[in-house]
């Protein structure tokens, strides 16, 4: 009987659409930054849905939300999780899909009056995106012991507003005893890349997450009038930054499987007739292998040294955050694969190039991820889309894998 159970796809799509109205943008996406008013409204909706589904809801000291469905055995739960915060003008599915598919699994088990042996929990992690409070995956990392509580609480956004103050303001500062404590962990997520679509495969089984490193780069030249300064005598910080930006692309293109991005840049004084004196910019490098990641950073460092020498613009590089590559649990990957085979779903193994909370949870318990195909590979934008059929397929993989791991109370 359990093998034939399927999620209610209409209910899943409806919940996704309803959550997507909170922080909705004119272009069909959402802006729901962590601990914003929009995040609060979305959390309240989710907590209500969890309680309606009979879950016992608890909030921990980082605002992570957990809804627990009891099993016949009182023990650590099998956890299905993701996040409902978003980037600015992000899509409807990044994170929200994993949380609401997990909720849909619970609703389906309720419909079937099915009790599992192991408890099942649905978790919404706080501040996964790291857009408002850097770094990303802040609160799964804190639960896994990667970050101290005081470090998390003292993170500030661009306006200098503290994490702890915002957490308290929106009413989600809970108790350390309420932290998630998984026996095993599954995260269902959109791919956010073009590989599954290119291969015509709806579901990806994710063996791990590539390493990611973030650099903060500060260029100090000399601001001066744009007229009287001849070209050879200038120290133009933006012109130097342009060399570095082009260099990031070249370095990444020359290394197999690497990606490199300059996503954030500010310049001073940013007026039309003054040579830019200061630039700050970010660099993001990703690769499945730690040593190669170090080599990418080293290449960038050489380019910066050459640029400094030839332009006279001082360049300081701070490698302020690195997330080492993560390898997920073989037994969980095998369980997901058996489930896909049982559901007759085409699937393939695919490394994640984006960070996810599963990375840190792997420190606490066996973890793995399931991907569903993204249209045009797009995400972190309003055009982010996965078909209803693919979203349904992924939710059924989650449902059946959870049943496999949690076990049913009355095997028939």
Contact residues for Zn ion, defined by CB under 5 A: 94-95
Q: If you compute the radius of gyration of the chain from its CA atoms, what whole number of angstroms results?
A: 23
Q: What is the DSSP string of 101-147?
A: HHHHHHHHHHHTT--BSS-EEEEE-SS-S-SSSSSTTHHHHHHTTSS
**Cα distance between residue 59 and residue 100, in whole Å:** 18
Specify the residue, 278 or 359, whose C-beta has the smaller distance to Zn ion: 359
Chain residue at closest Cβ approach to Zn ion: 95
Specify the residue, 94 or 191, whose C-beta has the smaller distance to Zn ion: 94
Specify the residue, 153 or 371, whose C-beta has the smaller distance to Zn ion: 371
**Distance in Å, CB of 325 to Zn ion, minimum:** 18
**Distance in Å, CB of 55 to Zn ion, minimum:** 22
User: ∠ CA(403), CA(408), CA(412), 5° rounding?
Assistant: 120
Specify the residue, 188 or 237, whose C-beta has the smaller distance to Zn ion: 188
DSSP letter for 351, please. -
**Distance in Å, CB of 227 to Zn ion, minimum:** 48
295 close to 258: Cβ distance less than 8 angstroms: no
**Distance in Å, CB of 188 to Zn ion, minimum:** 11
Structure tokens at 15: 């919940």
45 close to 18: Cβ distance less than 8 angstroms: yes
User: Which residue, among 77, 15, 60, 40, has the nearest Cα to 364 in the 3D structure?
Assistant: 77
Structure tokens at 116: 């599992």
Specify the residue, 95 or 207, whose C-beta has the smaller distance to Zn ion: 95
**Distance in Å, CB of 354 to Zn ion, minimum:** 7
**Distance in Å, CB of 237 to Zn ion, minimum:** 34
Specify the residue, 166 or 357, whose C-beta has the smaller distance to Zn ion: 357
Specify the residue, 95 or 180, whose C-beta has the smaller distance to Zn ion: 95
Q: What is the DSSP string of 159-219?
A: T--BHHHHHHHTT----GGGS---SEEEEEEE--SSHHHHHT-SEEEE-EE-EEEEEEEEE
**Distance in Å, CB of 167 to Zn ion, minimum:** 20
């Amino acid at each position: 009987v359990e093998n034939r159970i399927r999620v209610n796809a209409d209910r899943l799509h409806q919940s996704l659409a309803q959550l997507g109205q909170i922080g909705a943008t004119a272009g069909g996406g959402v802006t729901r930054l962590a601990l914003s008013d929009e995040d609060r409204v979305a959390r309240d909706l989710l907590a209500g849905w969890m309680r309606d589904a009979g879950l016992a809801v608890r909030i921990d000291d980082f605002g992570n939300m957990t809804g627990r469905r009891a099993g016949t055995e009182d023990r650590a739960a099998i956890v299905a999780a993701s996040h409902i915060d978003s980037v600015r003008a992000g899509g409807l599915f990044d994170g929200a899909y994993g949380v609401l598919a997990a909720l849909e699994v619970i609703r389906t088990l309720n419909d079937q009056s099915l009790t599992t042996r192991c408890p099942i929990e649905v978790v919404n992690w706080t501040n996964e995106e790291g857009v408002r409070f850097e770094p990303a995956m802040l609160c799964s990392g804190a639960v896994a012991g990667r970050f101290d509580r005081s470090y998390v609480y003292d993170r500030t956004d661009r306006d200098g507003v503290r994490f702890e103050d915002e957490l308290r303001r929106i009413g989600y500062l809970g108790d350390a005893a309420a932290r998630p404590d998984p026996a095993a962990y599954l995260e269902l997520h959109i791919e956010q890349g073009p590989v599954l679509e290119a291969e015509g495969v709806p579901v990806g089984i994710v063996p791990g997450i590539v390493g990611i490193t973030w650099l903060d780069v500060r260029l100090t030249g000399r601001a001066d009038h744009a007229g009287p300064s001849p070209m050879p005598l200038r120290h133009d910080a933006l012109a130097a930054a342009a060399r570095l930006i082009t260099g990031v692309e070249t370095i990444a293109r020359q290394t197999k499987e690497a990606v490199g991005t300059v996503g954030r840049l500010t310049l001073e004084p940013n007026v039309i007739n003054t040579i830019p004196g200061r630039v700050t910019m970010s660099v993001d490098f990703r690769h499945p292998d730690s040593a190669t990641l170090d080599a990418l950073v080293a290449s960038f460092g050489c380019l910066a040294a050459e640029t400094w020498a030839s332009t006279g613009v001082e360049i300081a590089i701070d490698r302020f955050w690195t997330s080492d590559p993560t390898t997920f649990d073989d037994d969980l990957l095998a369980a997901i694969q058996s489930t896909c085979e049982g559901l007759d779903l085409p699937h393939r193994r695919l490394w994640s190039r984006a960070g996810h909370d599963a990375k840190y949870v792997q420190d606490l318990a066996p973890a793995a991820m399931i991907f569903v195909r993204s249209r045009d590979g797009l995400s972190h934008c309003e055009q982010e889309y996965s078909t209803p059929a693919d979203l349904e397929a992924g939710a059924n993989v989650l449902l059946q894998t959870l049943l496999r791991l949690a076990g049913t109370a009355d095997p028939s």
